[in-house]
Structure 1
Amino acid sequence: MNLTKIAIVDDHKLFRQGLTQILSRSSDYEVVLEAASGRELLEKIDTHMPDVVLLDLYMDDMDGKEVSKILLEKYEQLKIIILSMTYSPELIFQMTKLGVHGYLPKDIDQTLLRDAINQVRTKGYYINDEIAKALRQGVQTGDKKFTKNKVSLTSINVDLTEREMDVLKLICQGLNTGQIADKLFISYRTVEGHRKNLLEKTGANNSVSLALFAVKHHLLTPVE
């Protein structure tokens, strides 16, 4: 993997300096930009153009959610990892649905931080047990009726059948193959076939990344 250019955005100078020092110990990373606010990041990002932004969720002028929306619309290749003291399933699900590529607590071990940065560069996302749990809870707490978002499916060039959508919904709710088979009154082998098709069509490699793909691309939308 090539050198990863990183921007650190946090309104606490000591925290920014500490992260910079930690990441600078590795020749794999270069901190190209430190910003004390979202506004400062947006003013300077075109000059420095990082690969990954480590972004605080709560800042005075613009919060991480507002900054993320702007970055995701303007910079398609940029990866965003939220770093926050607030590590709740609701926020993790909300920010993942928005499109950020990772969500970490600020007290994370530096080895895990490097692992997360590497994964968003190579895979496009970072998932741990807490993020997987938040994705499942986020789907489960919505309306149990779901509809296929045809615009999103078309825009990302994914063609799923109605039955595959049924299976995807139940995977996102945390059901295993046997439970899905019972729920849909189909065989275990048929569910496995649908699951294999879903993995191939979406480029996911397991049930958790399938759930992440579905949430980020709004493939499962609660009916109002």
Structure 2
Amino acid sequence: MQPTSENRVKLAIVDDHTLFRQGLSYILRRISACEVVIEVASGRELFAALSAVQPDVVLLDLHMHEMDGKEVSRQLLEHYPQIKIIILSMEYSHDFILELMRLGVHGYLPKDIDQRILKEAIEQVQVKGYYIDDTVAQVMREGLLVKKPTTRLPASNLLLTLTEREKEVLALLCQGHSSYQIAEKLFISLRTVEGHRKNLLEKTGANNAVSLAMFAMKHRLFEGI
């Protein structure tokens, strides 16, 4: 069954290289689960377009004229926090990855990835709230990317403040389950799941799903993260 327009992931492509932007748009339009709703060459054009339509995910170039990808990301995260951001760049250095992930983007990919990985990344940021490949995961481990918790508790004591249920919810979030799926698996209400998620954000000092995953990774709470 083909996804309906309501179920398709709405995408924005922001890249000042016309050929790359058009080629990416052509590829994504052939993926039935995706719908390209914005295709622009700059951050200024993106924000102008957002007044009419808002995508689920923005595929964003890092180096652009007028406003670079970092500044576009910062403004999106501040004014449109519901929109997920995947950086697509030829600049795949550890420093850039750390800087952008610290900022709060939801994924960081090289421009030479194949269609399958791009589709997987888009799907995962929709479900999990982030996409982390092996390279980014290693950078996060090396960089201890999680923000310092707002609480003054030492890390070892901080872990003790997590209830068993909160650890269960965190594990399922890191495995890519939505709040609705977690509610079904744990036989609890969706409202209760959201409550646990809120508590996890407050206790760990994380500000989004990416930071929660980094917290779990840093403290080796679960295998396979």
Q: Normalized against structure 2, the TM-score is what?
A: 0.69
2:8 matched to which residue of 1? 3
Contact 1:97 1:215 in 2 (8 A): no
Contact in 1 for aligned 2:15/2:21 (Cα 8 Å)? yes
Deviation at 1:198? 6.7
Partner letter of residue 150 of structure 1?
T
Give yes or no for the alignment of 1:68 onto 2:73. yes
Among candidates 199, 206, 219, match of residue 167 of structure 2: 199
Mark the runs of 5 or more structure 1 residues left unpaired by the alignment: 152-159, 168-190
Q: Tell whether 2:58 aligns with 1:53.
A: yes
For the structure 1 residues 45 and 128, does the alpha-carbon distance in structure 2 shift closer, same or farther, using more than 3 Å as the test? same
8 Å CA contact retained: 2:42, 2:64: yes
Distance 2:120 2:127 in 1: 11
Which of 136, 140, 156 is the matching residue for 1:163?
156
**Structure 2 SS opposite 1:46:** coil
Contact 1:9 1:16 in 2 (8 A): yes
Question: Any idea what SS the aligned residue of 1:107 has?
Answer: coil
Q: Distance in 2 between matches of 1:211 and 1:110?
A: 23
1:174-223 per-position Cα deviation (integer Å, ceiling 9, x unaligned): xxxxxxxxxxxxxxxxx9xx8967733645437xx99842658xx99xxx
2: CA distance, partners of 1:133 / 1:104 = 14
C-alpha spacing 1:131/1:36, structure 2 compared with 1 (3 Å): same
Return the alpha-carbon distance in structure 2 between the equivalents of residues 195 and 210 of structure 1: 18
- TM-score, with structure 1 as normaliser: 0.69
Segments of structure 2 that go 5 or more residues without pairing to the other structure are 176-207, 220-225
Q: What is the RMSD computed on CA atoms of the aligned residues?
A: 3.4
Corresponding position of 1:15? 20
Matches within 5 A, 1:103-182: 103-139=108-144, 148-150=149-151, 162-165=155-158
1:31 and 2:36 correspond: yes
- Matched pairs, number: 179
The CA distance in 2 between the partners of 1:67 and 1:147, in whole Å, is 25
Is the Cα–Cα contact under 8 Å of residues 129 and 210 in structure 2 kept in the other structure?
Answer: no
- Secondary structure class of the residue paired with 1:48: coil
| In 1: Cα distance, 2:92 partner to 2:140 partner | 13
CA distance in 2, matches of 1:6, 1:56: 14
1:24–1:30 CA contact under 8 A, matched in 2: yes
Q: Deviations over 1:145-174 (max 9, x none)?
A: x963239xxxxxxxx885244x6xxxxxxx
Relative to structure 1, the CA distance from residue 94 to residue 195 in structure 2 (aligned partners, 3 Å threshold; closer, same or farther) is: farther
CA 1:70 to 1:55, structure 2 compared with 1: closer, same or farther past 3 Å? Answer: same
Inter-partner Cα distance in structure 1 for 2:92 and 2:8: 29
Query: Aligned equivalents of 1:35 and 1:117: distance in 2?
Result: 19
Q: 1:211 to 1:137 in 2, by over 3 A?
A: farther
Q: Does 2:96 correspond to 1:95?
A: no
Kindly tell me: are residues 131 and 197 of structure 1, through their superposed partners in 2, closer, same or farther at Cα, counting changes over 3 Å?
farther
Q: Taking every aligned residue pair, what percent have the same amino acid on both sides?
A: 50
8 A Cα contact 1:55 1:80, kept in partner: yes
